[in-house]
Amino acid sequence: MNQLDALKQFTTVVADTGDFKQLGTFQPQDATTNPSLILKAVQKPDYAPLVSDTVSQFRDRAMDEIVDRLLVRFGCEILSIIPGRVSTEVDARLSFDTAATVARGERLIALYQAQGIAPERVLIKVASTWEGIQAAEQLERKGIRTNLTLLFSFCQAVACGQARVQLISPFVGRIYDWYKKSAGAAWVEADNAEANDPGVRSVAQIFNYYKKFGIATEVMGASFRNVGQITALAGCDLLTISPELLAQMAASNAPVQQALKADAAHAADIAQVHYTEADFRLALNNDAMATEKLAEGIRAFCVDAVKLEQLLLAA
């Protein structure tokens, strides 16, 4: 049994890509996309016909609608290959606008339904700002499932649990990046690997908290830099993994042991907390890593959203 198949014994494996032509190789249950991944995919020659067809059909519509239709087109192609769900992201420029995020999420689901896709097969990805979490709560009440992304801190995870969102995506690799850069020459890789990796520790804390207090929100570790981070989270509800790392695992026969266990979490000595908006904003502000990475992530997705629009204008 290769590493990837071994991991699937404990965790639902998700492919982190907009390149649906790669999906069949790894047989993931679900797939996630984001603006950067879609931008990367649409620049490949293989996808030129899909892009030009979408633009030509809807050239008279507003650009934000053309983009959403392209995202849904990719999502439908992905869903024709995988048995589970696809995550499709709301424009990052709406990260601080609750009402606009709700409206965009509703439109994405309507576009999917028009293509015959049931709502339960789609997760609407929303940034884990306070406004995004409130939007997700409203969407969930409407029967629209959400995936809260750009999640770097415990307070974001607690607020998402309070909002009863379907799934969260804590970013392992980006947390690791921040601590490694912050430590500089003092960083010792061996001391911060696998279970001691700061990104891994963050996801484990969230997983244990959710399981301890019966929070139904699914935990999906994301943004991995190496296979060690992945195997250190075996047992997490889901893990979304790039095609490059999926290929590495498929080519390895190294053993995988279950690292996270709900039974162990139930016995853990953890206190339950609740965040008001003021509590949330203070806790996030006091977490320099989370504050910086959340802002950085939103900025990067905004840049790629603009690049995608420019590419479509030229199509």
Number of Cβ atoms within 10 Å of the Cβ of 138 = 17
Q: Give Dmax over CA atoms of the chain in angstroms.
A: 58
Tell me, yes or no, if 180 is annotated catalytic: no
Give buried/exposed letters for 283-306 (b at 16+ CB in 10 A, else e): bbeebebbeebbeebbeebbebbe
Residue 202 token pair: 């963050």
DSSP 9: T
Element (H, E) at 262: helix 262-266
CA distance 23 to 241: 11
Angle at 77 between CA 84 and CA 9, to 5 degrees: 30
DSSP three-state, residue 240: strand
Would you give the DSSP letter of residue 164? T
Distance CA 38, CA 18 (A): 5
From the candidates 8, 40, 44, 125, give the one annotated as an active-site residue: 125
What residues are labeled active site?
A: 125
